[in-house]
Amino acid sequence: SKAMGCRFRNQLPGSFKLSSDTEFRFLTLDDVETKGKTAFVRVDINCPLDPSTNRILDDTRIKMTRQTLESLREAKVVLGSHQGRPGDEDFTSLEAHAKLLQKYVPQQVKFVEDTIGPEARNQIKNLKVGEILVLDNLRLCSEETISGTPELLAKTVMVQRLSKLLDVFVNDAFATAHRAQASIVGLPQVVQAVAGKLMAKELEALKKAYYAPQRPSVYIIGGAKAEDKLPIIENILTTSRADKILVGGVVANVFLRATGVDFGEVENRRLEKSPALMDKARVILSKYRDKLLLPKDLAVLQDGKRFDVPIKQGTRGDPVRDIGKETSLGYANIIKQSKTAVSSGPLGVFEEKGFELGSKTALEAMAEQGGFTVVGGGHMGSYASMLGIDKRLSHVSTAGGAMLAFLAGETLPGIKALVDAARRQRAA
């Protein structure tokens, strides 16, 4: 069948980068012949956008697709990614992404304003060697927004329609490997599946912290996606991968609210919106209060300026923009004394003048730490490069949630799909 149209270079692929680790025995681009073939490359070029203009603020994730795409110069490449989530401000078309991509790759980049419809399929059929066709935001197709088993997602119209036109599926979206979505786990059920260069590189770099973290190990977790981060925090503590977790951003506010800190009526209600999340925060606090460090003070925006307030006092409804000064210094000390430090998600709104302190102090402490340091999540990674300290960190990951889930020892659906595909291939 077309799905098996991709010949193996090695009959028994033995060139796994991570061959000693049975849990990561997947195939890579070195194991398949892609010359003249149609390859679907799932990347994660979900970028931070300017909320008022939709301009791409940081194109690191676009740049990082380069290695994989260059190695597919003799193939016909279909590129798929999501950007934001339907209903969110940053849910946009990928047209601007395609334009930026052209700066980084030798192939001719084309964009089609369609995902799985006749226009997209026609253009895929007519692709030439040396061309890259960027499909529009995959989440415009509703089937990409459901979570499901690989078997179920393999039956979606999306996977059925696309797979008929493809010879090989390349997963280079490490940053989306924690999502059980059609283009991540459905396609590798029916198309020959391999890991891309970035996927392999990220896993190689993170293995050290995954298998044997040097102690003390500290995680610095901020950002906005509290519903994602709380279960991961619980896992990291349950599996003892971290000796301490320092929190900031919305994640910290959720915990603080669970302890009764007053954020003012409106904000209190917003933080309590999900009773399940509040319950999760209380459970984590009751089990791990000694390992989970919450801010002692917060920085709020008042009359256009930064004000640091002790949490006892509450924020009186003023918008929280950062962790406080005392908290920042306390966190920095713990980070400097650690041997492993992993950070994902900003501790404050560092883009706003006066509110850089929390994230900046944490990153600078990591740069000084001298042990194993990893920064993940688009925002903190690009802030580290803006501060000019990215080279002093062990690894800057393109992934946020996926990196944390991986380090917490969770099985990432995207990686499992590749491993299962390789196992089926060996058995065949």
Kindly list the residues in this chain that would bind ligand 3PG in the complex (CB under 6 A).
Answer: 44, 46, 85, 175-176, 179, 400-401
Q: Which is nearer to ligand 3PG, 343 or 369 (CB)?
A: 343
CB of 338 to ligand 3PG, least distance (A): 24
Question: Coil, strand, or helix at residue 111?
Answer: strand
CB of 413 to ligand 3PG, least distance (A): 12
Q: Which is nearer to ligand 3PG, 123 or 274 (CB)?
A: 274
Main-chain phi, psi angles of 97, to 5 degrees: -65, -40
C-beta nearest to ligand 3PG: residue: 46
Q: Which is nearer to ligand 3PG, 261 or 417 (CB)?
A: 417
Q: Which is nearer to ligand 3PG, 87 or 388 (CB)?
A: 87
Question: Contact at 8 Å (CB) between 78 and 124?
Answer: yes
CB of 227 to ligand 3PG, least distance (A): 10
CB of 332 to ligand 3PG, least distance (A): 26
Q: Which is nearer to ligand 3PG, 359 or 369 (CB)?
A: 359
Give the number of other CB atoms < 10 A from CB of residue 250: 18
Question: Coil, strand, or helix at residue 162?
Answer: helix
Q: Which is nearer to ligand 3PG, 176 or 315 (CB)?
A: 176
What is the C-alpha separation between 419 and 428, in angstroms, rounded? 14
Strand 320-323 to 305-310 pairing: unpaired
DSSP one-letter string for 70-94: HHTTTSEEEEE---S-TTSTT---S
* Cross-strand partners of 49: 56
What is the C-alpha separation between 64 and 276, in angstroms, rounded? 36
Q: Which is nearer to ligand 3PG, 137 or 369 (CB)?
A: 137
CB of 47 to ligand 3PG, least distance (A): 9
Map tokens 């901020």 to a residue: 222
Q: Looking at 258-331, which runs of residues are DSSP E strands?
A: 292-293, 297-302, 305-310, 320-323
Residues written for the chain: 428
Q: Which is nearer to ligand 3PG, 80 or 401 (CB)?
A: 401
Main-chain phi, psi angles of 37, to 5 degrees: -90, 165
CB of 61 to ligand 3PG, least distance (A): 8
CB of 85 to ligand 3PG, least distance (A): 5
Q: Who's near 308: CB < 8 A, 6+ residues apart?
A: 297, 298, 299, 324, 325, 326
Residue type, 88: D
CB of 247 to ligand 3PG, least distance (A): 18
What is the C-alpha separation between 385 and 143, in angstroms, rounded? 36
CA atoms within 13 A on the CB side of 144: 22
